[in-house]
Amino acid sequence: MAIDRSRLPALGPEPRFTFPDIRRRQLANGLRILTVEHHAVPLVSFLALLPIGAASDPVARPGLAAITSDMLDEGSGELDAIELHDSLGRIGGHLDSEIGSDATILTLSSLARFADRGITLLADMIVRPRLHQSDFERVRELRLNRLVQLRDLAPALADRAFTERLYPDHPYGHQPIGTEPSLRAMELEEVGAFHRSMFTPSRLTLVASGDASHAELAALVERAFGDWSPGSATQVPVDPSTLPTPAPPRERLAVLHRAGAAQSELRIGHVSVSRATPDYHALLVLNMVLGGQFVSRINMNLREDKGYTYGARTSFEFRRGPGPFVLNASVQSDATVDAVLESLSELRAIRGDRPVTRGELEMGRAALTRGYPRNFETAEQISRAAAQLALYGLPDDYFSTFVPKVLAVDEAAVTRVAAQHIDPGRLLTLIVGDRDKMGSRLEQLDLGVASQIAPA
Amino acid sequence: MNITYTQHRLANGLDVLIHEDHGCPIVAVNVWYHVGSKNEVPGRTGFAHLFEHLMFEGSQHYDRGFFQPLQEAGASLNGSTNADRTNYWEVVPTNALELALWMESDRMGYLLPALTDAKFENQREVVLNERRQNYENRPYGFAGMALAAALYAPDHPYHWATIGGADDIRAARLDDVKAFFQTYYRPRNASLALAGDVDTDTVLALATDYFGPIEGGDEPPAVVFTPPAAIGAEMRLSLEDRVELPRLYLAWHSPALFASDDAELDLVGEVLGSGKTSRLYRTLVYEQRMATEIAASQNSREIGGYFQIVATAAPGRTLAELERAIVQVLGTLTDSGPTAPEMERCQAQAEANFMYRLQTVGGFGGKGDQLNAYNIYVGNPGFFETDLARYRKVTPEGMQRASREWLRRDARVALSVVPRGQAAAALEGSQPVSVA
């Protein structure tokens, strides 16, 4: 067959995709189990979701939730930290723990033939962590050292300063790792109390997926977690969905000076909506057009047209409470002001002056819907998707309604949510870079006097 | 773990590898060109990577960027360059396979007519910004360049980093792009893997239609190099950087990918640096708390490898202390080899890591990429079992012998990266180096 290079080939009919069958069970102690069969490779993956994260840190103890999750693999049950990791190593285990504002997630993958040992070790960590003083002191020291190292990392400096300004006196206003004074003042007993009151079976969702049957996976989880006492929760975690939206910062421009920095790290944004917004799907489409993928407006402008940066992105960070909308980019120092001007101009334009076109709309929708099955290829991907259902309280048919809901978004909806959820008057522009290379040009931004951020 | 595949060589020399996996209605398209920064010449470093960028800027029959039609079809796509090869991949819904083949074959066959000065200059700026972001503005970002420059003589193809020197990137010319394309971006020098929910006969016919008409080209010139001279006496270097904590890098020449002792040293890296039970973590971080983090790895490449140990000093601790502790830990391994539990652990980890890589059909890693890697490096796409067997065959004695032979104190480069203005924090006798 001779190839016709005068036009691109048409897409064939959309392939049928059946979402993985997710089965649910609940143990007598309240723990919820989701199971997913996945037989492609001889691996299993267990994901434990606790819908409690850094937003539940006590006001005076930023970093408590994170250090608590970090202590879980420092010895548990009969094993000290070294023995525990020796056991993990012998099953080819890969342990990962993540903490965000709203949730703590532990994942343990291993070779399928060691699934029983894997889930037992994970249960030991979650239910019976040792929490020894010497381990606590070592882990705290490592976290303090990490804080020291983050002072050199421009993206970390920018994220922290941005978060603090967007969420003053708010549970979302600190990084999960916390602060030096808080970590120094922390006592092991606080970690123990946090663990006892927050880690309860009725709050935990365990997603088991991989090369085993539903029944086998559920039985593994039940054997490991079945005798976990329901306990009595003495502390009520923060419910992020009830958190207020903080007032916008008074300043509109803030600069953290780093002499000689090779680039300027930019964050432009404001507090936006929560995951529960009815505009969720329209905002996803908007973001695809604006800055969510390579061909989005922001990246095509700042990178492909101007060459100011290696890449620029926007995102609505959906959380249970009102999360941030943010544009981020690392741009060459002498183009800082121009890059900010272009960014602000794009953020304004999509609200109405240069609304989304039919082509852009179709492009954005198609990228989301046609690519959707890719998110369900591996056991761990499926586990993570299932965990989202539990974290955000999404309905069982969430995956199968995603595509029709995205396809129902039209131009008017995108323009409406852009106008409603991107507010140029509230945007904070934050720059971590060499102020001397920007000089008086900062005034061209017309954002008032730049507030100077002292290095942490 | 048996990955079934079929292999066909088109008349123009292009290898087509096909693997069926019907788990998800997607297909991975993965193209390797056997060219990387080791094919560059001094003064023009960074060129292979800059060229990779240009491959995304449009080709003769579709000159509006490479991303647009593919992202609109639901693809995820990217590319990467290292010292040995350049790869390009798309993961597409099965109904967009033909589109991906059209696009990949158009840039393989017809890139140059669409290339302009404006595109070239734009991407040169983008690459300079990539370099600023990932190296110049990143703590310890120059360490890899300093080590490569020390391990390999200036005319050795691994002397420079793939990102290249900033001045070299600025010196690149559009004419160089044309010559580079004609030399290296030919079917004869490439390998195409298709992995996913496809029918082998159907996609082979498609691949033949799309790629078959492209002229095969000549065999590119071989990479000429002199194996690096053995490091006869320890080389101590220091680099000042915008960092808070000093960090020590120890590096040795080591075997090339798949060469004898490569797997042994891979597992030595596991035993020394992987997880909290590893010897270096346990001693330096867990027990003595002199380091905030450690890492150990065998980095094997096509014409040679390097083994590396990295340790960052905890506040108040010195690189000299770290160096002594590392030497002692290494000594215990070279003196008596790994223990039985260590063997069990590192072999289970090697097997699991192997499986983790094969969970996806494509992307960075995944089955398509691995088929091409085996095809390009050993001429056998079905090398999976042989590769895994290398690790199963490793013995404690083999690891002990390999570490004794390769990780000698007098055969290493010791690079101290220290906070600006604190030259004295480097190991004693270090020569300052500068990286631009």
Q: Is A47 exposed, middle or buried (0-12, 13-18, 19+ CB in 10 A)?
A: buried
Q: What residues in A contact B312, CB-CB < 8 Å? A: 149
Q: Which residues of B touch A151 (CB under 8 A)?
A: 244
Both tokens assigned to A101:
């504002």
Smallest CA–CA separation between B67 and chain A, in Å? 7
Q: What is the reported pLDDT for A241? A: 87
> Can you give the three-state secondary structure of chain B, one letter per residue?
CCCCCEEEECCCCCEEEEEECCCCCEEEEEEEECCCHHHCCCCCCCHHHHHHHHCCCCECCECCCCHHHHHHCCCEEEEEECCCCEEEEEEEEHHHHHHHHHHHHHHHHCCHHHCCHHHHHHHHHHHHHHHHHHHHCCCCCCHHHHHHHHHCCCCCCCCCCCCCCHHHHHHCCHHHHHHHHHHHCCHHHEEEEEEECCCHHHHHHHHHHHHCCCCCCCCCCCCCCCCCCCCCCCEEEEEEECCCCCEEEEEEEECCCCCCCHHHHHHHHHHHHCCCCCHHHHHHHHHCCCEEEEEEEEEEECCEEEEEEEEEECCCCCHHHHHHHHHHHHHHHHHHCCCHHHHHHHHHHHHHHHHHHCCCCCCCCCHHHHHHHHHHHHCCCCCHHHHHHHHHCCCHHHHHHHHHHHCCHHHEEEEEEEECCCHHHCCCCCEECCCC
The answer to whether the Cβ–Cβ distance between A295 and B24 falls below 8 Å is no
Min Cα distance B32 → chain A (Å) is: 22
In tens, the pLDDT along B407-420 reads 999 999 999 999 99
Task: Give the pLDDT score at A20.
Answer: 87
Strand order of the sheet with strand B247-254?
B291-301, B304-313, B247-254, B412-419, B235-241, B431-432
Answer yes or no: do A92 and B351 touch at CB < 8 A. yes
Does residue B1 have a pLDDT over 70? no
Mean pLDDT on B123-141: 96
State ipTM.
0.94
Mind telling me how many Å the CA of B223 is from chain A's nearest CA?
30
Contact: B68, A295; criterion CB under 8 Å:
yes
Q: What would the mean pLDDT of B142-153 be, rounded to a whole number?
A: 97
Is residue B406 over pLDDT 90?
Answer: yes
Select the residue of A5, A15, A42 nearest B95 (Cβ to Cβ).
A15
List average pLDDT for each run of 10 residues in chain A, which is 456 residues long. Answer: 93 91 95 94 94 96 98 94 93 94 96 96 97 97 96 96 96 97 98 95 96 97 96 76 91 95 97 97 98 97 97 97 98 96 98 97 96 91 93 92 97 98 97 92 92 85
* CB–CB contact B133 A40 (8 Å): no
CA distance B241 to chain A (A): 10
Please report the pLDDT score of residue A233 as a whole number. Answer: 62
In this predicted structure, what is the pLDDT of residue B2? 76
- Out of B67, B352, B360, closest to residue A94 by CB: B352
Q: Which residues in B lie closer than 8 A to residue A363 (C-beta atoms)? A: 68, 71-72
Averaged pLDDT for residues B85-93: 98
B364-401 pLDDT, tens digit per residue, is 889 999 999 999 999 999 999 999 999 999 999 999 99
Predicted local confidence at residue A234, as pLDDT: 64
Task: Tell me the chain B residues in contact with residue A362 when contact means C-beta distances shorter than 8 Å.
Answer: 72
Please write the tens of the pLDDT for every residue from B152-186: 999 999 999 999 999 999 999 999 999 999 999 99
∠A175-A177-A178 over CA atoms, to 5°? 70
> Which residue in A has a C-alpha nearest to residue B436's C-alpha?
A262
> What is the least distance, in Å, from the CA of B211 to any CA of chain A?
10
How far is the alpha carbon of A83 from chain B, nearest alpha carbon, in Å?
8
Which residue in the set B71, B129, B360 is minimally distant from A378, CB to CB? B360
Q: What is the overall mean pLDDT for chain B? A: 96
Decide if A40 and B23 are in contact by the 8 Å CB cutoff. yes
Residue identified by tokens 């894997």 is A118
Could you say which of B94, B275, B359 has the minimum Cβ distance to residue A41? B359
Let me know: does A155 contact B255? Beta carbons within 8 Å: no
Q: Is B275 in contact with A88 (Cβ distance < 8 A)?
A: yes
Does B358 sit within 8 Å of A370, measured CB to CB? no
Give residue B383's pLDDT.
96
> What pTM was estimated for this model as a whole?
0.96
